[in-house]
Amino acid sequence: MVTDTATPGEEATAAPDAPAVDITQVALAEAAVQTELVFARIHGEPLTRLPHDLYIPPDALEVFLESFEGPLDLLLYLIRRQNFNILDIPLAEVTRQYLAYIEEIRRHNLELAAEYLLMAALLIDIKSRMLLPVKKADTGEAVEDPRAELARRLLEYERIKLGAQQIDTLPQAGRDFVAAQVLIDQTVEPRLPEVTEVDLRTAWADILRRATLVQHHRITREQLSVREHMTMVLRTLQDRRFAEFQDMFDPSRGVPVLVVTFIALLELAKESLIEITQAEAYAPIYVRLAYLPS
């Protein structure tokens, strides 16, 4: 519907080609649709009448308000819902409600109703014993209430049920959290910092520099043996846990002895008889005996 708003002093005129629309009829039609019972809407259109060939199964609209895990669960529910004293159960009322529930489930599942029928028989048996006159025991003790055993079973079941509910509220692996898994390789040996060639070259240059400060002007010919110095190095380290790299050299013996000692250290390290380690970059270099497996 299109309307034109006229300015002051002018009259609103409809377009000559637009058909006249009766607003009253439209309003009445909408009101009629609203007053009718709308069952559903299909593609935006209201459905006010059910199809004649629509079939609804008899059990399609059944609603189960309560579900019970067994006869004791149902009996406990009936007692707690009506605030009955569990130690003084009004069996007549409870049995009536219990049998009404059994009648409902018996229509659908006879096997399930068998367990509940057994409890119903027990309730009727207890009620019948309560109607009999009380007979005193021969020992003079008070006769036990027929409801006592049932009350003990109900109290025990209620404690177990409450405990299960409390356990269910606790965080569970796979439901509330996932356990972290970390792979730890136990066979990995401790890795010590590796000594690079640059570190050895720097240390050796420092030793040579200090050796030139204490060299002697003595010309002699000395037979130097690398094997002999290897043995001397092993003897030096035998009673010591470790020694500094520079302490393995004696600058007072001259450069030739220093060279042979250095070669002896390299040979021992090559044969895995000693270990040359360094804690971190630019830290002192240490020498120690290698621990060979037995």
Provide the terminal-to-terminal Cα distance of the chain, rounded to the nearest Å: 104
The DSSP bridge partners found for residue 288 are 275
Per-residue pLDDT of the chain (294 residues; tens, 9 = 90+): 334 444 444 444 444 444 444 556 655 555 554 555 666 777 778 777 767 776 656 555 444 444 677 888 888 888 888 888 877 788 888 888 888 887 877 776 666 667 778 888 888 888 888 887 776 656 656 667 778 888 888 889 889 988 988 998 888 888 888 888 887 777 767 777 788 888 889 999 998 888 888 766 666 666 788 888 899 989 888 888 888 888 888 888 888 889 999 999 999 988 888 888 888 888 889 898 886 544
The pLDDT assigned to 2 comes to 39
Q: 204 exposed, middle or buried (CB, 10 Å; 0-12, 13-18, 19+)?
A: middle
* CA 159 – CA 152 distance, rounded (Å): 11
The pLDDT assigned to 263 comes to 92
The pLDDT assigned to 1 comes to 39
The pLDDT assigned to 125 comes to 85
The pLDDT assigned to 71 comes to 82
Q: Which long-range contacts (CB under 8 A, 24 or more apart) does 276-284 make?
A: 276/195, 276/200, 276/245, 277/192, 277/193, 277/195, 277/242, 278/193, 278/195, 278/199, 279/193, 280/193, 284/244, 284/245
Name the amino acid, one letter, at 166: Q
**Contact status, residue 200 vs residue 269, Cβ threshold 8 Å:** no
Name the amino acid, one letter, at 180: A
The pLDDT assigned to 55 comes to 63
* CA 97 – CA 176 distance, rounded (Å): 39
Written as one string, the DSSP assignment of 42-88 is: ETTEEE-S--TT----TTTT-------SSHHHHHHHHHHHTT--TTS
Q: Is the dihedral of CA 158, 164, 169, 175 positive or negative?
A: negative
The pLDDT assigned to 6 comes to 41
- Coil, helix or strand at residue 282: coil
The pLDDT assigned to 21 comes to 46
The pLDDT assigned to 262 comes to 92
pTM for this model (two decimals): 0.36
Of the candidates 151, 142, 11, the one whose C-alpha atom is nearest the C-alpha of residue 87 is 151
